[in-house]
Amino acid sequence: MTTPTTTAATLADLSGTYVLDSAHTRIGFVARHAMVTKVRGQFNEFEGSGVVDASDFTKSTVTVTIEAASIDTRNEQRDGHLRSNDFLAMEEYPQITFVSTAIQQTGPTSVELTGDLTIRGVTNTVTIPFEFEGAATDPFGNLRVGFEGSVVINRKDYGVSWNVALETGGVLVSDKVTLEFEVSAIKTA
């Protein structure tokens, strides 16, 4: 094993094919609960890949597939409810997918990733701003890159409309959900 080295890579240096390192990537979400707090969770099983053309980002592509059953909010009862027909309907729609339709560089270390997000069989276009966090050669000789981004979606746009009105006003679960991405991807040979 060698010592990891950080490279002074820029977006212009990233051309190639990459796969998500699921052990070092987090695909998470945040929703308001009872109008007073936030519930955070993540998906533990997913795969993704991308082809980056740093000379022309519009030729780049990204695809991600998430297993709906892998939802994890650290509460077994809540996770069971989220897997049910009230929310993700994972029996009928076992996967959540994202397929890019456009990628553009928006700054020296930033890109916008636009694509089709499909949840419960409903597809909508979303644009996710990402910040390039850097690149490093890991102890195994792999070039690893990091990106972070987030986007707010309305769950009702995907047919996820279950809710309960609260006596004090408001609802149990917010319509708006923030999707969070902390990405570690490895360049393939």
**Cβ contacts of residue 50 below 8 Å, gap of 6+?**
17, 18, 60, 61, 62, 63, 100, 185
At 41-71, the pLDDT tens digits run: 999 999 999 999 988 989 999 999 999 999 9
pLDDT band at 171 (very low <50, low <70, confident <90, very high): confident
Enter the pTM of the model: 0.92
- Answer yes or no: is pLDDT of 146 > 90: yes
pLDDT at 8: 57
Q: Encode 153-167: b = buried (16+ Cβ within 10 Å), e = exposed.
A: bebeebebeeeeeee
* CA distance linking residue 182 with residue 134, whole number of Å: 12
- Answer yes or no: is pLDDT of 2 > 50: no
The residues facing 43 across adjacent strands are 27, 71
pLDDT at 166: 86
